[in-house]
Amino acid sequence: MANERTPAPVSVLFVCLGNICRSTMAEGVFHSLCSSSQQYGALIDEIDSAGTGAYHTGDSPDYRTMATLKQHNITNYNHAARKVNKDDFRRFDYILAMDEYNLKDLLRLRDNIISQSARTKAHTNTISTECTTPKIAEVRLFGDFNPDGTVNKKVGGGQEIEDPYYGGINGFEIAYEQAMKFSKGFLVYLERKQQQS
C-alpha cells in the first residue's frame, strides 16, 4: 500500500472594516460549518477575523450579528474585534475580504510586506541555493468562491458582502446567507484542492 501524505489543514482570516458585523458573521458561520462536519473540520486548522480599521478594537460583535447567528442556532461564538496586522499575512493561509475596499487595503498591505521582505533580503545580501521566501497568505474576496467550489479567475471578481451596519436586521440576514453560501463554496474548493495534492 502506498504511503499517502495527508495535506496540512489551512488557516483562514475573514476581514471587513470594523470587525463587528460581516467578518464576525463569516467567522461564526464558517466555524459552525467546520465544527459540525468531520469532513470539513479536517480541512481547517485556525479560523479568525479582523478589521482593516481599529474603530471597534476590543468590542464584541454587533448585537445584530449575534442575534442573526443565534436565530440560525449558532450560539457558541464569541470574539473581540481587532485590527489586521503584518503577522496575519504570515500566520494565515487565506485572508478573505468582505468587499472591494477591504480587498484593496489588504492587497496593499500584502504587497508592502513582500516589498519589505525583498529589500531586507537584498540588504543582507543573503545567498542561498534554496527558496527562503516566507509564506504569504493568499488574499481574495470571500465572494470569489462559488457554491460549486470553483473560484473566480480574477481576484475580487466575485460578489461582495455589503456592510449592514447602518441598516436594519434584514441586512444582517442577507450577510448571513452570503456567508453561508461563500463558506460552503470555499470548503468545496479546499476539499478539491487537497484531493489534487
Who's near 128: CB < 8 A, 6+ residues apart?
none
Give the number of other Cβ atoms within 10 Å of residue 90's Cβ.
12
Please answer whether residues 159 and 15 qualify as being in contact, where contact means their C-beta atoms are separated by less than 8 angstroms.
no
Q: Which entry of 5, 21, 22, 99 is annotated as an active-site residue?
A: 22
The torsion angles phi and psi of 50, rounded to 5 degrees, stand at: -160, 175
Q: Which entry of 5, 131, 163, 192 is annotated as an active-site residue?
A: 163
Active site residue 192: no
Nearest to 40 by CA among 171, 138, 166, 183: 183
Q: Which entry of 16, 34, 48, 140 is annotated as an active-site residue?
A: 16
Alpha-carbon torsion angle 89, 95, 98, 104, nearest 10: 50
Active site residue 34: no
Indicate the length of the chain as a whole number: 197
Active site residue 163: yes
- Cα 63 to chain centroid, rounded: 21
3-state secondary structure of 33: helix
Q: Which residues are marked as active site?
A: 16, 22, 163
